[in-house]
Amino acid sequence: MKASNQYSPSLAIIRILFTAFLLSQSLAHAAWAGDWSLKDKDGIHYTLSDLHGKWVLVNFWATWCPPCLQEMPDLDAIQKQHKDLQVLGVAVMYQSRKEVLDMVAKLSISYPIVLGNEDTAGDFGGLDGMPTSFLYSPSGKLVGHHQGPLTKTEIEQAIEQKPEAATLFIQ
């Protein structure tokens, strides 16, 4: 059988899809490491560059996720105690705005809540599990991300750059 120099239509489609996949991964990681913009439930916009000089913790959570709900009071407490830290909660995979707002009220959460979606998560490189948090230094550099719940103590160790926190946030 003689080999053809022509690509089959199915091979061409596979190549196009693979190229699109690689480009999407590059773009996602570019947004993940760079400036971003989030609008909270009250219409207030937050950008990484506007928060320059503060530690920033972007926390993705869902109303149906027990570990997410478990860590939220600690996130709220640390937000209130550390003026050099901004916590932004990003709700994803919810059914209605009311569902999110009711949970925020039930837990008495005072930090900003963003009504996000899968595109929002994609802007940060995607999520492999819930909750997932991204920590940025005061200079705006991504320290890393953490999958799973965080405690107030762990976050304090991270922003105080203690050795115990070295493996909490991975690049």
pLDDT at 30: 36
pLDDT at 28: 40
What CATH superfamily classification does 32-165 receive? Answer: Glutaredoxin (3.40.30.10)
Distance of CA 103 to the CA centre of its chain: 19
Give the separation between CA 155 and CA 149, rounded to whole angstroms.
Answer: 11
At a CB cut-off of 8 Å and minimum separation 6, what does 157 contact? 164, 165, 168
Which two tokens mark 49? 């560059």
pLDDT at 158: 93
pLDDT tens sequence for the chain (171 residues)? 444 444 445 433 433 333 333 333 333 433 444 689 999 999 999 999 999 999 999 999 999 999 999 999 999 999 999 999 999 999 999 999 999 999 999 999 999 999 999 899 999 988 989 999 999 999 999 999 999 999 999 999 999 988 888 888 888
pLDDT at 85: 97
Inter-axis angle of helices 152-159 and 66-81, nearest 10: 50
Give the separation between CA 142 and CA 136, rounded to whole angstroms.
Answer: 4
